[in-house]
Structure 1
Amino acid sequence: MDKDDEYTVTPSQRQSAPFFLSGFLAQSCVVAICVMIGLWMGVYSSHPGLDWTDTFHRLHLHPFLMVVAVVFSATEAILIFRMLRTISKPTVKAIHVFLHTATLALVGTALAAVIKSKNDLKFAHFYSAHSWFALIVLFLYASEYVAGIIVFVLPTRCISDTMRQNILPFHKFFGLCTYVFALITIGMGVFDFLESIVGTSAYSNLGLQARLGNAICVILLILGATVVHILTRSTYARPSTSDSLFEPEPL
């Protein structure tokens, strides 16, 4: 073997390290945010706890379930085609649909929790920018979900592969935009939650709650940037395989 050939690095090898580092960073952010919101709502809040029977504990379920839905379930759903590179595309597609379905189920439960809690506390509904953003994002997400089922899950006798390929870029673009909007909405929700418990006291009196909330927002930014990087870098795309339902990879 020629000595120069021994140390030749292929383009795929050059991309593997940044790809896996980006994936590791994204997954680390997911774990960190989910753990922090669980600790905040379940341990360190003014009325710590997560259950449906107590009004305040039920109210805490709203941010907790929303974070699990978007930060965990939705993130894994949109990354799965690039992260699970050795699993057949039909299998990955089934997991993709399941995770998006779980996201909507968690979001629905979170909405029910906050509405019931606010009814019990006689608080107004949907008056903040956060709640308006949330309704818009929910509409966009549900629309993406329904469109994705119709276009990419129904048999080809209903939707041809050619039409799927034409629609796919729009599905990917609007899916990623909706995901970023959802992360922004969560950040707004964290701010609203902190503002609601500060009242007229000094922000510094919140102590660990403020630090947890601020840290969550910072990590949300890192997560969003990392996910966008992974999904928009063409060299990170899933390798072509013979088991693909059609060649381009969906978001």
Structure 2
Amino acid sequence: MAVDSPSLVPLLFFARVSGLAVAMLVLLWALAFNSSFLIPNSSSQEYLIYEVLHPLFMVIGFILISGEAILVHRWLPGSRNFKKSVHLCLQGVALASGLFGIWTRFQGEDGIVANFYSLHSWMGLICVSLFGAQWLIGFLSFWHRGEARTVRLKVLPWHVFVGLYTYGLAVVTAETGLLEKLTFLQTKRNLSRYCPESMIVNSLGLGLALLCGIVILAAVSPKHQTLQTKFMYPDAKCLSS
């Protein structure tokens, strides 16, 4: 017989706790220290709004929601098709958030090209593009089920791998963005390394790293563990327990 693995319960719990902590930290940073998102010699309120929306949509909308979509198959009751539909919808919301988060970078006063010069920006474009392709393949596969079962079984491991890789890449991209922003603030605006804002940004980075590990571990952990109810004896007789 098969039973639910008890190891998933604490993993799912800590995933929600760490996700909540990440959401609170990014909200605190974006709302309480929004003056840090203004570029020098600029007082445009519209630009400030776009700058604040970028981390909110990329962290809460893109990373946290896509992580929740990954965990859907671990805890959501119901049929497999129902879980797949919820997974697809949540990933669609995450994709829309990621696209909007990148769109906010297009609204800078220096134009589009000026906002795509760093490792963070390049990784962000690659990550969202890969995520979009992954979602489109999943969408077509979900609505078009005429493929042979053997083909679907061969594609599934790659779908899982690319999905987890993209999620990890999204977290790494966010980490590079936090490092880039904090370095800019400390060198250009003389922000202290031990001030509250620095502590919040560093804590946010640690929270994202912890969340990524928990989500991936929960995703690859076996959902069920098999219990052997029959024992083989030397005389080749089987006795049921």
- Identical residues among aligned pairs (%): 24
Equivalent of 2:155, from 154, 167, 170?
A: 167
Equivalent of 1:220, from 191, 202, 208?
A: 208
Equivalent of 2:97, from 89, 99, 106?
A: 106
- Name the residue aligned to 2:63: 71
- Name the residue aligned to 2:168: 180
Distance 2:119 2:164 in 1: 21
Root mean square deviation, CA, Å: 2.6
Counterpart contact for 1:47–1:57, Cα < 8 Å:
no
Equivalent of 1:61, from 47, 53, 66?
A: 53
TM-score normalised by length of structure 1: 0.79
Distance 1:103 1:81, change over 3 A: same
Deviation at 1:93, TM superposition (A): 1.3
* Within-5 A mapping of 1:15-30: 15-16=5-6, 18-30=7-19
- Name the residue aligned to 1:125: 115
Deviation at 1:145, TM superposition (A): 0.9
Counterpart contact for 2:185–2:191, Cα < 8 Å:
no
Deviation at 1:94, TM superposition (A): 1.3
Counterpart contact for 2:182–2:198, Cα < 8 Å:
yes
Deviation at 1:35, TM superposition (A): 1.3
Counterpart contact for 1:144–1:175, Cα < 8 Å:
yes
Give the 3-state SS of the residue equivalent to 1:156 in structure 2.
coil
Structure 2: runs of 5 or more not aligned: 39-43, 227-241
* Structure having greater relative contact order (Cα 8 Å, sep ≥ 6): 2
- Which residue identity lines up with residue 19 of structure 2 in the other structure? V
CA deviation digits over 1:8-42, x for unaligned, max 9?
A: xx9837x31x2111101111111111111011101
- Name the residue aligned to 1:12: 3
Structure 1: runs of 5 or more not aligned: 1-9, 240-251
Structure with a larger share of its residues in strand: 2
Counterpart contact for 1:74–1:100, Cα < 8 Å:
yes
Distance 1:62 1:117 in 2: 11
Deviation at 1:204, TM superposition (A): 1.8
Deviation at 1:115, TM superposition (A): 1.5
- Deviating 4+ runs (over 4 angstroms): none
Distance 1:48 1:132, change over 3 A: closer
